[in-house]
Amino acid sequence: MGDQSYGVDPATVDFIAKEIKDAVSMGVEVAIVIGGGNIFRGVEASVKGIERASADYMGMLATVINALALQNYLEKYGIPTRVQSAIEMKELAEPYIRRKAIRHLEKGRAVIFAAGTGNPYFTTDTAASLRAMEINADVILKATKVDGVYSSDPVKDPKARKYDTVTYIDVLKKGLSIMDSTAISLCMDNNLPIVVFNLRGKGNIRKIIEGKKVGTLVVKDHGTRVKSKDH
């Protein structure tokens, strides 16, 4: 939504598409799990009175709107893109099929996973962890508005310390708000690294792929480094 309070900001989607295009141009297979908080937040709506499962399904539908917007901009820049939805809507997107998603990636297409896991009570973070495991990803890049993980909220606490590396256990024990505990536990159980970084920083995705220090690396122990299986 950019600097707007709601909706889809074309300039922001355009910027994100260019960042993804840069990564794809390096020969890296890129899959994107997209949220819908700029349009509808299921958890917040459930607090205000909408039944939780219904609110979550509404949030999943919002992610499909974002997926279609991002697909449009990626294809404008010549990146073949497929949207796969965990909730079937064949007129708009392919149904999520693991082997088909992997084949798209092998052919150089960007794949956008929409509608979360297709189940209420699970967050977009959990969907990202699940899909990353299913497609055998090397790493999750958790795109945020801050430049990494801090000991406390850097906006409210001037003494907040940024971590270069943090372990899954530390995230869970200290309650660091990176991803929800289900998503972190899933990554920890399967030893899948997470890089938390600022999406608004131009070239950050490329820098991470090149192995440069950007954001915060979340791993099993502090000596771990991300090792690519294919690139």
User: Over the stretch 9-29, which tens digit does the pLDDT of each residue have?
Assistant: 999 999 999 999 999 999 999
- Two structure tokens written together for 17: 């598409």
CATH 3.40.1160.10 corresponds to the domain 138-231: yes
| Secondary structure of 140-171 in HEC code, one letter for each residue | EEEEECCCCEECCCCCCCCCCCEECEEEHHHH
Q: What are phi and psi of 85, to 5 degrees?
A: -110, 135
Helical spans, DSSP H, in the chain: 10-24, 42-47, 52-76, 98-106, 124-134, 168-174, 181-189, 204-209
Amino acid at 134: E
pLDDT tens digits, 142-182 = 999 889 999 888 888 888 899 999 999 999 999 888 899 99
CATH assignment, 1-137: 3.40.1160.10
**How far is the C-alpha of 113 from the C-alpha of 70, rounded, in Å?**
11
Could you tell me which of 104, 86, 97 has the C-alpha nearest to residue 34?
A: 86
pLDDT tens digits, 118-151 = 999 999 999 999 999 999 999 999 999 889 999 8
Q: In which element (H, E) is residue 219 found?
A: strand 216-219
Stated length of the chain: 231
Please give the C-alpha separations between residue 96 and each of 31, 42, 43, 99, 115, in angstroms, as whole numbers.
Answer: 13, 21, 24, 9, 10
Q: How far apart are the first and last CA of the chain?
A: 32
**How far is the C-alpha of 200 from the C-alpha of 67, rounded, in Å?**
18
State the pLDDT at residue 229. Answer: 52
- Tokens 């917007």 belong to residue: 69
Q: 17 with 77: CB under 8 angstroms?
A: yes
Tell me how crowded residue 127 is: count the other CB atoms within 10 A of its CB: 25
Domain with CATH 3.40.1160.10 in the chain: 1-137, 138-231
State the pLDDT at residue 153. Answer: 83
Q: Is the pLDDT of residue 184 over 70?
A: yes
Q: 92 with 63: CB under 8 angstroms?
A: no
